[in-house]
Structure 1
Amino acid sequence: MDIRKIDDDLSVAPQIQPEEVAELARLGFRTLIANRPDREEPGQPPMADLEAAAREHGLHWVYLPVESGNITDQDIDAFDPVFEEAEKPVLAFCRSGTRCSVLWALSSARRMPLEPIIQRAGQAGYDLRGLIPRLQQQAANRKD
């Protein structure tokens, strides 16, 4: 598994497998957020299998599918409260982890400065500098 820590509350990962969920629980994750649509590509495990594994190992499960390369404001609006209210720490996953890091960054821009967002994502291996205009747009909706 390629788990990339954004901060103490969130790590992101590429596609996980049902047999890896026990290890995620052992590592202390409390919530799994699936940002990948079911059947996005052939060979990916069914979300129902991942949900069953999460529940079997005492993890909270959230299925919030987001289309790759097309994160809408509605997706951000949906992710924000789910993440904020989730039992932490959270592991969010998609095909590569990028969608999850972008969702986190865009929703976080509503309540924190952009520099730490870019820095945390970068330390996890996700260069989000190309999103600065969109992050600034979300920051205009800041909840101070």
Structure 2
Amino acid sequence: MDIRQVNPSFAVADQLTEADLPLLKAQGFGTLICNRPDGEVDGQPGAETLAARAREQGFDWHWIPISSGNFTPEAVMAFDLAMAATEQPVLAFCRSGTRSITLWALAQSTRQTSAELVAAAARAGYDLSPMAPLFDARFKG
């Protein structure tokens, strides 16, 4: 598990397993957001199974699956609502963390400039600079 801190209330990671949950709880995470669709790769834990184990350990859980870079307005809104209405800090995950940080940036893009979002992603090891024009189009200042 590769956890990358984006800001004090949000981090992203690659695929989680049930075995990771106690460590995440010990690190203080309150909410998990799964951005992987079920069945993406063989051996991947199913979202409902992982959700049940996460809830047993006291996590808030949200499943907002993104496939093939399909960041729908509904997914962006669901992510934004999940971030606003859950116990922080939040850890979002997918296969590599890229979909999760992209979804976060899209959700934040009405409140932060593209430069701020690209810089935050870069500090976490992700290059979102190609998406800067989309962030700019959404920014309302």
TM-score, normalising length: structure 1: 0.92
Please list, as runs of the form range in 1=range in 2, the aligned pairs for 1:1-80 lying within 5 A after superposition.
1-80=1-80
CA contact (8 A) 1:32 1:90 kept: yes
CA contact (8 A) 2:11 2:92 kept: yes
Code of the residue aligned with 1:22 in structure 2: it is P
Identity percentage of aligned residues: 43
Any stretches of 5+ residues in structure 2 without a counterpart? Answer: none
- Quick one: distance in 2 between partners of 1:57 and 1:92? 17
CA contact (8 A) 2:113 2:136 kept: no
Answering whether residue 134 of structure 2 is matched by residue 115 of structure 1, we say no
CA contact (8 A) 1:31 1:86 kept: yes
Aligned structure 1 segments of 4 or more residues deviating by more than 6 angstroms: none
* SS at structure 2 position matched to 1:33: strand
- Quick one: distance in 2 between partners of 1:49 and 1:30? 18
Q: Considering only aligned residues, what root-mean-square deviation do their CA atoms show, in Å?
A: 1.2
CA contact (8 A) 1:107 1:138 kept: no
Any stretches of 5+ residues in structure 1 without a counterpart? Answer: none
Question: By how many angstroms is 1:8 displaced?
Answer: 0.7
- Quick one: distance in 1 between partners of 2:137 and 2:115? 14
TM-score, normalising length: structure 2: 0.94
Code of the residue aligned with 2:32 in structure 1: it is L
- Quick one: distance in 2 between partners of 1:128 and 1:16? 23
Number of equivalent positions: 141
Question: By how many angstroms is 1:61 displaced?
Answer: 0.8
Please list, as runs of the form range in 1=range in 2, the aligned pairs for 1:121-132 lying within 5 A after superposition.
121-132=121-132
- Quick one: distance in 1 between partners of 2:101 and 2:51? 21
Q: Deviations over 1:74-121 (max 9, x none)?
A: 221221111122210000001110001001111111012222211110
- Quick one: distance in 2 between partners of 1:110 and 1:91? 21
- Quick one: distance in 2 between partners of 1:68 and 1:124? 22
